[in-house]
Amino acid sequence: MRTHNRREYLNVDRQIAVLEKAAGSGTVVACRYCGAATPVFGSIGVCHGCENVVSLSRDALAKRSSDIVAALDSINAQLASGMYDGATAAYDALYAKYADPALLYVEGLVCNMQSNHEVGLISYDREGFMEENTLHRDAAARHAARARLLFNKAISACNAVLSKESSPDVMFVAFLANIKLGNLRNAESLLGALTGSGSHYLSMYATMVLDSAAGRFDRVPADAERLMKPDAWSINAFFYMALALLKKGDAKGALKLVGALKKNVSSAAIDALAREAAGY
């Protein structure tokens, strides 16, 4: 008997066409938390580096907060040469000045990067140098613990703001920090609050992130496709789509899509996904 295999979402070639058309005709904005440049289509977007809400071009951001742009340029130069401690100290200084919870969250991401970096230094064929491996393993655990501390601190700082005002952007930071901590129940209740706040775009985005974090990869393609529309577009939707394709067993489709994504943006997460898809 012939089974009817109805396609639930656009095929990968169609998705790539949508990605290229939108990325090519949109604008590029700069993240005020990590400095990454992200193509957006419409008035709102999410940073491809740290997932915070982005809306200003680098020029507009520099005009409004030249100190932030300078600090982020210096942080990114330090990260490029593996100077993680300098970068986290710079985030501490920015937080002391601006008290923006999103800065704590992004500093947590940097600590996770530093932890991954230490894990990468562990060598399993370094006979006789096991002490060195122990040092890297301890450092990795220490940085991961500091990341968790910063995510918790970010959530407390968000709650302090939210007790006084209803801000979808702040709810979204608390949501992201909970996702990183694996607190999916808290993330789900923040998603409810986001939906209630009327921020349709952020609640659609958070739905995609939560379904992905919860391993609900059958739902992610439909979630991602809702963010491939001219009125609600995020370049990260293509990342989550590629991840879902990979988890659903379509490594070839995932690799093709992540290849198209890499032409527009780059990040450690995108590289890792490309490697994973290529390794299947």
Residues numbered 42 to 61 that lie near Zn ion (CB under 5 A) are: 47, 49-50
> Which amino acid belongs to residue 30?
A
Residue of 12, 16, 22, 34 interacting with Zn ion (CB under 5 A):
34
Distance CA 150, CA 171 (A): 16
Q: Which is nearer to Zn ion, 50 or 177 (CB)?
A: 50
Rounded to 5°, angle at Cα 88 from 83 and 89? 100
Q: Which is nearer to Zn ion, 12 or 177 (CB)?
A: 177
**CA-wise closest residue to 194 among 215, 179, 216:** 179
Shortest CB 268 distance to Zn ion, Å: 13
DSSP 41: S
C-beta of residue 92 within 8 angstroms of C-beta of residue 106 = no
User: Is 31 among the residues that bind Zn ion (CB under 5 A)?
Assistant: yes
How many residues belong to the site for Zn ion (CB under 5 A)?
7
Region of 32-40, 184-192, 231-239, 245-253 interacting with Zn ion (CB under 5 A): 32-40
Q: Which two tokens stand for residue 10?
A: 């656009």
Rounded to 5°, angle at Cα 172 from 168 and 178? 145
Region of 25-33, 87-95, 158-166, 242-250 interacting with Zn ion (CB under 5 A): 25-33
Q: Which is nearer to Zn ion, 62 or 121 (CB)?
A: 62
Residues near Zn ion, by CB under 5 A:
31, 33-34, 36, 47, 49-50
